[in-house]
Amino acid sequence: MKLPLRYYGHADLRTKAKPIDTITPEIRQLAADMIETMIEHNGVGLAAPQVGQLVRMFIRRFEGVNAEGEYYLGPPEVILNPVLTQPSKETTTQVEGCLSVPGVLVHVERPRKIHLRYQNLEGAWIEEEIEDFKARVTMHENDHLNGTLHIDRAEAAERRNIEPLLSSIKKKHNFTS
């Protein structure tokens, strides 16, 4: 079932999510609904707070190019209770967007590599070293679990430039605070 998105200005996007203690049928259904929602919106990631669920879960998928040179998005992965450590000193800056802040693209500097430890839907703990786009998507979605948006990582001048767009999003979705 496609879930309604939370948009810039909604308090859920600024609330720290709680760990998932038990993987219940409801958590599995939330994961399936989040996958459907992310695909429907053509996203590469979606965090639970973006759909009003304040639990430490996100969905991610990655870009690829097949043997014929065609672009594709890979299968969705469910990430529970992520822990990110060991960010590289080397960083990259790229433009990021967000389903909850539609139409607002900003330059975000992030570590190029990071270590990720998380649980899958079977409850197994997985560890991986990730880099480049995979690391960027993972850090972006993990930020949502901590109440941080990509716009918070923009430089001050760029942030000032997007303020009118942010105000219009708040107004459109009836958030006045």
Q: How many CB atoms lie within 10 A of CB 154?
A: 20
141 contacts 60 by C-beta, under 8 angstroms: yes
Non-local CB neighbours of 121 within 8 Å, separated by 6+ positions = 23, 27, 28, 31, 78, 80
The first and second tokens of residue 73, run together, are: 């998005």
Measured torsion, CA atoms of residues 41, 42, 44, 46, in degrees rounded to the nearest 10: 10
13 contacts 50 by C-beta, under 8 angstroms: yes
85 contacts 47 by C-beta, under 8 angstroms: no
**Structure-token match 């990655």, residue found:** 62
Q: Which of 127, 129, 131, 141 is catalytic?
A: 141
Torsion sign over Cα 55, 99, 114, 85: negative
Catalytic residue flag (residue 122): no
Active site residues: 141
